[in-house]
Structure 1
């Protein structure tokens, strides 16, 4: 177990994007090892409740979406796309610039040659129409 902790500590330290200042390196190394030891014993404590520890992780819930969730998500995306396509062009343009391209209202205003407040108002209107359309699709 000690060898595994040393190896895991080394991996954590090596893969850390920004290491601490050299004066804190030793403390950082010890803290990383200590956290790994704590994690190890937590896992061991959990595994004592399972009859067959080797099969313990077979009973953990799978994070992958179910086929029903995938189908529902695809349906939601289709409804969203339809509601975006139904927006007037000026509202859709602001929505795309703000939500997909990440532009600020100031940048949108400059790009489209409209006041910042107009860009904001168009976004509010676009969001309102999309929400209404999505709410309407849920009732169907």
Structure 2
């Protein structure tokens, strides 16, 4: 990493950390999570290698921070749903804390993948895979052609396959 790049990031941090902290704190309400998200915001900039123009710095930082805040809320929602599911299971099927953490991580990745898909693709894929609906029934529900449903399902499955290959 070039020294000028590092200096620019340091200046960006020093100039904007105060308002970024307030921005995140208002959304999270937790000083520890706020500190983590500020760190993650600048880590994203470091790893991306892209620096915003000075005039666009706040907009750029806000964009990254909003995405991280959304990720935290999604993860919490997934974790709560999974833990609620576990409470409904017999005690003899209890998983270790490590297994639970791995499952929550996997479910969070799946949730993130699904939210990156276009709405119709996501809906069609979930209707098919979770509800076992036929292509015709999905087409009627989404008010599209069966051909469109076929394309949606293919696109959704391709996204899943690509994510699976990239994670290996």
Q: If the TM-score is normalised by the length of the shorter chain, which range does it land in? A: 0.3 to 0.5
Greater RCO, 1 or 2 (C-alpha within 8 Å, sep 6+): 1
Say which one has the larger Rg. 1
Q: Could you tell me the TM-score, scaled by structure 2's length?
A: 0.41
Q: Could you tell me the TM-score, scaled by structure 1's length?
A: 0.48
Instruction: Identify the structure with the greater helix proportion.
Output: 2
